[in-house]
Structure formats: C-alpha cells, structure tokens
Amino acid sequence: MAELMRMPEVAAGAAEAVLSQWLVEQGAAVAAGDPVAVIETDKAQVEVEAETEGVVIRLLVEESRQVEVGSPIALLGSRAELAGDPDELLRGLGVDAGSGAGVPAPERRDVPEPAPAIPAGPPAPPARPAPPAAEAPVPAAAPAPATSRPFISPIARRLLREAGLDGAGISGTGPGGRVVRRDVEQHIAAQAAPDAPAQDAPAPAPTGRADRPAAGEPVETIEHSRLRRTVARRLSESKQTVPHFYLKRTARLDTLLALRAELNERTGHRISVNDFVLRAVAEALVAVPEANVVWSDDAMLRYDTADIAVAVASERGLVTPVLRSVERMALGAVSTEVRALVERANAGALKQHELEGGTISVTNLGMFGVDEFSAIINPPHSAILAVGAATPQPVVVDGALEVGTVVSLVLSVDHRAIDGALAARWMGALVEALENPYRLLV
C-alpha cells in the first residue's frame, strides 16, 4: 500500500531542514533501513533511512530545497502501484498532487506507457497499408524522446542546472545508460575546452597583469556555506549573551610525552597529546563534578558522565562532535574514536546525535605552533579549553632551573554556570592529571 515518507525532525526543535541530495531514483526498490536521502541541518548532513520496504513511486521534493518538518518528501508503494497514477495515490493520501508545491515532474522513462500508445491508434495504419517503407520512420521516431531526455541521476541533474545545460547529447555510463555525475562533469569540461582559445585570443595580456583586480578590489567572492553561517551566528550569540571569563594554567608534559612514546611503540596505537588531554579533561570532570554542568533558563543541569566535544576543523568547516563517557574509555579507544569522528566530519557523514550534548569543548591549535589562545564557548556548553603548543621552557624545580616541556591551557568559562573558585579547582585537577598521566591508563 502506498505511503508517504515525510521530512523527519533530525535536530531537536528544528522546524525545517534542507533536502541536500537524493540517494535513490524513482522506480528504485528500497528495504527498511536503506539510506534514501541526505538531509542538511545547521550542523551536519544526516542520512534519512526508509522505514519500510517498497518502491519509490515519486520523489516529491527537488534537491537543495528547504522543507518543513513533517512535510511529504517521497511516495513509496508496491511495484504494481508504480505503473499506476501517482497523482491518484497522492490524492488518496490527502496530498494535493495538483498544487505543484515543490513537486518536480517525474521522468517515467521506465514505465511502459509508450506500448499502449501503438494499439491506441489502429484506425490510422489501415488507411495506408500499401507502402511498407512508410512504416520505417515510425519505429525510428520512437527512440528519439529517450535519447533527448535521458534518465539523469539527481546530483547530475543539479550539476546541469547549475551549469545552465539541459542534458541533451550526453551519453550516460551509469546503470541502464543513466547519466551520472562523471558524465556531466566530462560534458561540462568538454564544452568549456573549445571556448578557452576564443576567450584567450582577444586578450593581449603582454605583461600578465591585465586580469588582475584593481587595488582594493576583492579577488574572489566566496558564498557562505550553511555551516559557516551557523558557526558565525552561534559564536556571535555566545559572545554577546554568555558572560565569559578566562583562566590560564601551564602544565609540564615531560612524563606524559615519555609515556606516549612508550605506548605508541608497544601497542601500535597512534595516541596523540590531544588524546591525553581529552582523557585528563574527563578525569577533572570526575574529580570536580560540580563543574560538569550546563546552564538553562530554568535550572542548572548536572551530568555524571564526561561527554566532551572536540573541535574539528574539517574540510567542510568547523564542527564539534561529542565523545561520550570519556571517563570510561582507554586512551587507545579515545584515539580510535577521535580519528573516526574526524573522518566522518571530512566526509560530511556525522549524525545529528554525534553533535549534540556535552558540557565542555576542547580545541587544540598546538599542532600549528600556536603558543596560547582564548576560545569562544560553544553553547550550551559551560566551558571550552584552548590548548597551545608544548614547547621547551625554563622551569624551576626545588629551587633549581631546568628545561621542561610546557603547554599553555586557557579555559573560557560561562560565569552563570561556574564561578571563579570552582573553575580554578577544575583547572587544578586538569593539571594534576596531565602531570601524572599514569592515572589516565586506569
């Protein structure tokens, strides 16, 4: 029986989301749990799965469209219903099929509608039975629409639309002759190539400076991505509405670095200094549970697990996926999970639940040689720890001067949730854990 697939509430409290990409085509069979579409939220791209088994009768929303939560996005049904009238099915489900609100005209190339069209006109052929050669053009004309309107995958159709092309003349290399992304990219490149000499010919450019912008003019205009807009909005709101204060401590890491080298050699794990920092942050939250809180307008929310967000500068922008219950994780598990989160962030495959929760974030610029910096709190977290580079510095031990490897730590704190003395206690517990790293192995 036909049923509607609706836009899910992929983020708590979200009223709408963008249908970024279809992963199936009309006529495709899907099983329960199969990914059907990619939904783009403020923070990530989320794959939406089919809830039941069926056939995709019609895709009701074009790619890159903003859709309200709960609105129909696809019509699923049986193979027999695929050959029927989808508008009638939609009306039966209470959807106005004639409204055209975001519903693209389907390409039903695989539905055998041309076959009944041949017997539908039997009176015309008997009027001219004599010349058999006259019937030759009839079958020749039938394939013409198919070649002029090839079946095109959703992402290939979007590329064509952005390039201002209609897809005519493109040979598909996908299943069943379908035009896929690589076909469109090759077609666009082939069309651009002949134009290049004509564009270059009239340009004298004897000095190579003719195409440079005038002084003070931008060399490029880069449109903001949804993720960049979201990061800008959230951090602006944080700085304007959250009363920040900052604490700075340094920690000596000689023992930690020696332990890290030993573990990497013995276990084969590639454990980083940041993995130790994350485990030490969890240890500090356990030691000072009053700091494991989040401020809300009605109450203070306190947690008993160390859920820590990790700032990841992914290829798609800044995201902060959350590691759960870090206080129970071994260092090797922390290292493995962080790498997996980074890979999913770069691929745009983070799930929404991986970006929610936590009470504190950790951001590390030490690998870029940054000695010290302050970070903006990522709401609703109560704090963010900024980690600088570990560098050799003079330190005093028992009145004697020696060289030690020292890291600078700056904690940005929400003063509504955590007072200065409490934050200082937490920083003390963090430094204690970093300077005695063997306890992090337990």
How far, in Å, CA of 50 to CA of 233, rounded? Answer: 33
- Asked if residue 3 lies in contact with residue 93, where contact means CB atoms within 8 angstroms, the answer is yes
Comparing C-alpha atoms, which of 380, 320, 376 is closest to residue 345?
Answer: 320
For 74, half-sphere exposure in the C-beta direction (CA atoms, 13 angstrom radius) is 31
How far, in Å, CA of 140 to CA of 147, rounded? Answer: 12
Catalytic residue, candidates 269, 353, 381, 415: 415
Tell the residue number behind the tokens 């504190």, with chain if given.
360
How far, in Å, CA of 261 to CA of 359, rounded? Answer: 30
Which amino acid belongs to residue 44? A
Give strand pairing partners of 47.
38
Give kind and range of the element (H or E) at residue 430: helix 420-435
- Asked if residue 28 lies in contact with residue 71, where contact means CB atoms within 8 angstroms, the answer is no
Task: Enter the tokens of residue 233.
Answer: 């909005």
How far, in Å, CA of 339 to CA of 319, rounded? Answer: 14
How far, in Å, CA of 316 to CA of 345, rounded? Answer: 8
- Asked if residue 410 lies in contact with residue 384, where contact means CB atoms within 8 angstroms, the answer is no
Give strand pairing partners of 246.
412
Comparing C-alpha atoms, which of 366, 292, 282 is closest to residue 330?
Answer: 282
224 is catalytic: no
**Residues in the chain, overall count:** 442
What is the DSSP-derived secondary structure letter of residue 433? Answer: H
Cα first-last separation, the chain: 56
CA–CA distance from 424 to each of 248, 336, 410, 418, 428 (Å)? Answer: 9, 31, 11, 10, 6
- Asked if residue 305 lies in contact with residue 327, where contact means CB atoms within 8 angstroms, the answer is yes
Task: Enter the tokens of residue 211.
Answer: 């195409």
Name the residues annotated as catalytic: 415
